[in-house]
Amino acid sequence: MPLIGGVRAVTAGAGLLADALRAEQVRVDWRPPAAKLSPDPAVDAANARAVARMLAARPAWVGVGVARDVIPGMRPDLLLHSGPPLRWEDASGPMRGALEGRDSADLAPCHHHGAVGPMAGVISPSMPVVVVEDRESGTRAWSNLNEGLGRVLRYGANDDAVLERLRWMADVLGPALSGALAAGPIDLGGINQRALQMGDELHNRHRAATSMLFRELAVRGLTAGALRFIDGNDYFYLNLAMAAATVPE
């Protein structure tokens, strides 16, 4: 429905945007006060340190272990979840779906333990987790294994098919991956660089990264069943990418 009397606009800021607006305009020549733009030396120094650490980081996949054995502070009665601290009554529907049915009593955010859980990601004590290490600083981060798309725990599904897949991942996939990594770490930084050049953005698109990881695991003798699972799951690399970007507190 057209506006009565047409459109008039007040524009400020970039002239390029105002030039593209087909309407009667009142242009305001406004700039933020210069004093507010003065850099804080302490902030500049902190930013420089953060950027230097990012550029120097050399993330590598160094192992697979059971969460209760490798994640600092993990306990048999603890569930780690994505996002900030929460209580059960405040959890969203998908998060409740991922949490319910477990016999653990306490909840804690993944990032309080140097871990990461994509989406409504939950790490229970018995889950297999990837171990990622920054070879420059020696810091480590952990994440669960990616289940794929569709009905999966990180989307809040917890039916029999989901639980059976999780049991297979714990009993078969985790040990198989651990055996493949016995030949040495896998350079995630190198995969990240090549995958970005091939069109991945390492959060919602991982086809190139997963393909390169598949090739590396295949030459290390990963079992056929494990390779078939990864071949059918372009998102397998997601959890490794997120762990590689995580620095424990």
Do 29 and 64 belong to one domain? Answer: no
Per-residue pLDDT, averaged over 51-75, amounts to 94
Do 130 and 27 belong to one domain? Answer: no
Residue 93 lies in a domain: yes
Q: What percent of the chain has pLDDT over 90?
A: 62
107's tokens: 């909840």
Do 18 and 100 belong to one domain? Answer: no
Query: For residue 78, what is the DSSP state?
Result: E
Residue 63's pLDDT band (cuts 50, 70, 90): very high
Provide the number of structural domains found in the chain. 2
Do 32 and 117 belong to one domain? Answer: no
To 5 degrees, how large is the angle CA 200–CA 205–CA 209? 55
Residue 13 is part of which domain span? 8-37
pLDDT over 80 (residue 233): yes
210's tokens: 């997963």
pLDDT number for residue 158: 87
Do 237 and 157 belong to one domain? Answer: yes
172's tokens: 């078969």
- Which single residue is written with the structure tokens 């086809």? 207
- Which single residue is written with the structure tokens 């902190």? 46
164's tokens: 């059976």
pLDDT number for residue 34: 64
Question: Which residues lie below 8 Å from residue 234, measured CB to CB, with a gap of 6+?
Answer: 206, 207, 210
pLDDT in tens, 73-125: 999 999 999 999 988 888 888 888 888 866 557 999 999 999 999 888 899 99
Q: Do the Cβ atoms of 99 and 82 come closer than 8 Å?
A: no
Q: What percent of the chain has pLDDT over 70?
A: 92
pLDDT in tens, 137-155: 999 999 999 999 889 888 8
pLDDT number for residue 68: 96
Do 119 and 226 belong to one domain? Answer: yes
pLDDT over 70 (residue 221): yes
Model confidence, pTM: 0.80
- Looking at every residue in the chain, the average pLDDT score rounds to 89
Do 22 and 128 belong to one domain? Answer: no
Query: Radius of gyration over alpha carbons of the chain, in Å?
Result: 23
Q: Write phi, then psi, for 49 (nearest 5 degrees).
A: -65, -40
Residue 44 lies in a domain: no
pLDDT over 50 (residue 1): no
